[in-house]
Amino acid sequence: MKDPVLTVEGLEVRFQGAAGEIPAVQGASFSVHRGEVLCIVGESGCGKSITSLSVMGLLPGSAEAEGHIRFDGRDLLRLNREEIRQIRGNDISMIFQEPMTSLNPVFTVGFQLMEPLVVHRNLSKKQAFEEAVRLLERVGIPDPGRRMEQYPHELSGGMRQRVMIAIALSCEPKLLIADEPTTALDVTIQAQILELILKLKEDTGMSVILITHDMGVVAETADRVLVMYAGKVVEEADVRTLFEDPKHPYTKGLLRSMPNVDDDTYTLEAIPGTLPKPGEIQQGCPFHPRCPEAMDRCREENPRVFTHRPGHMSRCWLAEEEDQDHAGESVG
Amino acid sequence: MPEKVLVKLENVKKHYPVRRGWLQRTSARVKAVDGVSLDLYDRETLGVVGESGCGKSTIGRTLIRLEKPTEGKLYFNGTDISELPARAMKPFRSKMQMIFQDPFASLNPRQRVGPALEEPLTIHTSLSKGEKRERVMGLLEEVGLRPDHYDRLPHEFSGGQRQRIGIARALALNPSLIVCDEPVSALDVSVQAQVLKLLRSLQEKHGLTYFFISHDLGVVRHLCDRVLIMYLGQTMELAPVRELYKNPVHPYTEALLSAIPRPVPGRKRERILLRGDLPSPADPPKGCPFHTRCPEAMEICKETRPEWKEIGPGHRVACHAR
Ligand SMILES: Nc1ncnc2c1ncn2[C@@H]1O[C@H](COP(=O)(O)OP(=O)(O)O)[C@@H](O)[C@H]1O
Ligand SMILES: Nc1ncnc2c1ncn2[C@@H]1O[C@H](COP(=O)(O)OP(=O)(O)O)[C@@H](O)[C@H]1O
Ligand code: SF4
Ligand SMILES: [Mg+2]
Ligand SMILES: [Mg+2]
């Protein structure tokens, strides 16, 4: 279990914009262990997708990444285009919020499923067909033979996401990255898709990075959680600790702002203000303008990462006193 | 004290023609809203919940006569407005407003916010230029924006601020009813509560009635007085908010509630997983529209549409098994 499949160290991603550099991810470090689900949570724009696209080697051309992304003894940020394409086809797969953007509208579902099987797994056309049908069955698509002939637009949103998952599974990946895979779906379909991802994880032993903005989804799927804010990982913990003993004021804010369906006496509290634009906050903790607990120091100095106990870290000055690990990195 | 009915719907239907094939013949009709009967009480917030395509937006638009019902009757304050022509509708228009998920989809990106908010005042009132400006300044303040926002362009606002502008626009003509169509769905959860709080305080101050459309049962529980559950254009269950969450009766309501991920790690859940997908509203199942996915469906459910029956004070349900 404690065997990391992926280790990200000091990831920095910057975009070259008209108005200068945009720091989208700033010093993200984390690892994903074998067979676990790591959830990345945070408001939109906090850097979740850019972090995962870095792992996939799919950053847009205007982005520059630094740091280390270690997978299978190699640093993905140091591989050439062809090498990273090999990894993407064989070891790491990704699914997105809107499968329509990654499915090709002019090819049948069957063609899109069979292609990677022929290219990456060297199956014959006949073998690939049989394998594709098997994959569709596995992701719970009824009448898979008929679905093979259909085009993406003929499928419902939930079915399209299942097809994407089938394609992602076709290479038997060690790591599946799912970027808000259920955000566009209705709750009853979301429940089906999350159940499917967890079941496939159990069956194959793959690891999963699941990106979401929904704390309910986190609670029901994650083993461990990263909370991101303004391009930084601000808290990391196992899922129970995160919900029972959250340390960072941002994590607490996210938890309090979520409406509770089971309790109507619960008072909803918004996090005041909005997420700053990348690079907007030059000094101090990036959360200080919205933080109910901000102190003078927070406005001046950016907190480093403090350790509450092994595996539970937060990037907040309030944590300094109980810091277990004074050797923690210092962040400028 | 009996509650005053602001809007009454009697067996309201809204069907749209679907054109298919190269001749574009109308071969089917989407039954977007299919026989809805409902009273909306003065100053209440009615939550309307259901999966996408179940007709929430259509019923919202029909309620304020942005659409003419295909069949059925619609009363506003006791007046039958189902067939009123545009001119006769005009005095009612200012009383019924709508807020959208993305209020800026309907705004000109090059028009400044102040002048945009003044437009409805120009059409519906005889206020002078100065009076309009004053009114808009007042509205900006009411929704928690600043006077200097008057001269800003739409893209300069965050999602939450945009929704405040949408709310200001809806308030401009002192309406009594606002149809809120997923007003917080596009916002981050962290800022949703700001907008919900604003809606609640405006309701108290102005005695507003809300028809609050949402697919989020959590949000609805916090804001609404009563909840209506819809499925494929039909009403499945209606109950006071507490009652619906404590004592859900329709199998679809039970499934919806059980599908919501709860922020409690490690909790063992009895989840009712619904089979399959939502059927197409152009070709809804006969009988009870939910029978193809219902864990409790019986023979009669395939044939006969269940009655919309009252099973307790203010609690209605359409299900043969209940
Ligand atoms: N192509 C791009 N060019 C410039 N900035 C970008 C680009 N893509 C993303 N960003 C910026 O990077 C930050 C992180 O974005 P993203 O990772 O997509 O956020 P999330 O997935 O958490 O919503 C945002 O501020 C976003 O504006
Ligand atoms: N103007 C229209 N023309 C044709 N079909 C429509 C129109 N508006 C809505 N529909 C259809 O009616 C059904 C209900 O739609 P809608 O009211 O938007 O549902 P919801 O808001 O619950 O998602 C859908 O199948 C939709 O495609
Ligand atoms: S460092 Fe200060 S401002 Fe930042 S989260 Fe902690 S208390 Fe709040
Ligand atoms: Mg994203
Ligand atoms: Mg809608």
Q: Least CA distance to A262: which residue of chain B?
A: B245
Closest CA to B281 of B216, B238, B236, B231: B231
> Distance, in angstroms, between A164 CA and closest chain B CA?
17
Parent domain of A284: 4-91+174-330
Beta bridge pairs of residue A236: A226, A313
In this structure, the answer to whether residues A24 and A152 fall within a common structural domain is no
* pLDDT tops 60 at residue A20: yes
- The mean pLDDT value for A188-194 works out to 90
User: For chain B, what percent of residues have pLDDT higher than 90?
Assistant: 78
Residue A9 C-alpha to ligand 4 middle, in angstroms? Answer: 20
> What's the token pair of residue B65?
């006569």
The answer to whether residue B100 is domain-embedded is no
In this structure, the answer to whether residues A272 and A233 fall within a common structural domain is yes
The answer to whether residue B121 is domain-embedded is no
Q: Where a domain ends, among A130, A147, A170?
A: A170
pLDDT recorded at residue B22: 62
- The mean pLDDT value for B174-195 works out to 93
B125's CB contacts (< 8 A; 6+ apart) are: B132, B173
CATH number at residue A87: 3.40.50.300
In this structure, the answer to whether residues A224 and A275 fall within a common structural domain is yes
| CA-nearest residue, atom 26 of ligand 1 | A45
> What's the token pair of residue A45?
């724009």
For A94: left if phi > 0, alpha if psi spans -120 to 50, otherwise beta; the answer is beta
Phi, psi torsion values for B136, nearest 5 degrees: -65, -40
In this structure, the answer to whether residues A182 and A324 fall within a common structural domain is yes
pLDDT recorded at residue A327: 47
* pLDDT tops 90 at residue A320: no
pLDDT recorded at residue A328: 47
Residues of B in contact with A156 (CB under 8 A): 277-278
Map chain A to HEC letters: CCCEEEEEEEEEEEEEECCEEEEEEEEEEEEEECCCEEEEECCCCCCHHHHHHHHHCCCCCCEEEEEEEEECCEEHHHCCHHHHHHHHHHCEEEECCCHHHHCCCCCCHHHHHHHHHHHHHCCCHHHHHHHHHHHHHHCCCCCHHHHHCCCHHHCCHHHHHHHHHHHHHCCCCCEEEEECCCCCCCHHHHHHHHHHHHHHHHHHCCEEEEEECCHHHHHHHCCEEEEEECCEEEEEEEHHHHHHCCCCHHHHHHHHCCCCCCCCCCCCCCCCCCCCCCCCCCCCCCCHHHCCCCCHHHHHCCCCCEEEECCEEECCHHHCCCCCCCCCCCCC
Residue B187 C-alpha to ligand 4 middle, in angstroms? Answer: 14
The answer to whether residue B122 is domain-embedded is no
Total count of domains within chain A: 2
Q: Where a domain ends, among A136, A170, A204?
A: A170
The answer to whether residue B252 is domain-embedded is yes
Question: Among A92-106, A132-146, B15-29, B53-67, which is the least confidently predicted range?
Answer: B15-29
* pLDDT tops 80 at residue A46: yes
Tens of pLDDT, residues B226-256: 999 999 999 999 999 999 999 999 999 999 9
Q: Where a domain ends, among A123, A139, A170?
A: A170
Residue B29 C-alpha to ligand 2 middle, in angstroms? Answer: 11
Q: What is the atom index within ligand 3 of the atom nearest the CA of A298?
A: 2
| CA-nearest residue, atom 13 of ligand 1 | A24
Total count of domains within chain B: 1
Pairing state between β B25-41 and B5-20: antiparallel
* pLDDT tops 50 at residue B48: yes
In this structure, the answer to whether residues A181 and A48 fall within a common structural domain is yes
* pLDDT tops 90 at residue A282: no
The answer to whether residue B119 is domain-embedded is no
pLDDT recorded at residue A325: 59
d(CA A200, CA A41): 22
With cut-offs at 50, 70 and 90, classify the pLDDT of residue A2.
low
A329's CB contacts (< 8 A; 6+ apart) are: A27, A29, A304, A305
The answer to whether residue B266 is domain-embedded is yes
Tens of pLDDT, residues B156-180: 888 889 999 999 999 999 999 999 9
The residue among A89 and B318 whose pLDDT is bigger is B318
Parent domain of B248: 5-95+173-318
In this structure, the answer to whether residues A85 and A201 fall within a common structural domain is yes
Residues of A in contact with B56 (CB under 8 A): none
Q: Least CA distance to A194: which residue of chain B?
A: B261
User: What residues flank ligand 1, with Cβ below 6 Å?
Assistant: A 15, 17, 22, 24, 42, 44-50, 60, 62, 278
In this structure, the answer to whether residues A195 and A111 fall within a common structural domain is no
In this structure, the answer to whether residues A26 and A64 fall within a common structural domain is yes
In this structure, the answer to whether residues A289 and A179 fall within a common structural domain is yes
Q: Which of B191, B218, B256 comes nearest A259 by C-beta?
A: B218
In this structure, the answer to whether residues A124 and A227 fall within a common structural domain is no
In this structure, the answer to whether residues A185 and A136 fall within a common structural domain is no
Question: Among A139-143, B51-55, B64-68, B264-268, which is the least confidently predicted range?
Answer: B264-268
Asked if A254 lies within 8 A of B259 by C-beta distance, the reply is no
pLDDT recorded at residue B25: 61
In this structure, the answer to whether residues A59 and A36 fall within a common structural domain is yes
With cut-offs at 50, 70 and 90, classify the pLDDT of residue B26.
low
d(CA B25, CA B40): 37
Asked if A274 lies within 8 A of B191 by C-beta distance, the reply is yes
The residue among A184 and B144 whose pLDDT is bigger is B144
Report the first-to-last Cα separation within chain A, whole angstroms: 33
Closest CA to B194 of A326, A318, A270, A305: A270
pTM of the model: 0.91
Phi, psi torsion values for B41, nearest 5 degrees: -85, 150
H helical segments located in chain B: 56-63, 86-93, 113-124, 129-142, 159-171, 189-206, 217-223, 241-246, 251-259, 299-303
The answer to whether residue A96 is domain-embedded is no
> What's the token pair of residue B144?
């928690």
Tens of pLDDT, residues B283-306: 889 999 999 999 999 999 999 999
Q: Least CA distance to B279: which residue of chain A?
A: A156
Tens of pLDDT, residues B139-152: 999 999 999 999 99
The answer to whether residue B77 is domain-embedded is yes
Look up the ipTM and state it. Answer: 0.88
d(CA B172, CA B174): 6
- The mean pLDDT value for B70-92 works out to 94
* pLDDT tops 50 at residue A4: yes
CATH number at residue B37: 3.40.50.300
Question: Among A24-28, A168-172, B292-296, which is the least confidently predicted range?
Answer: A168-172
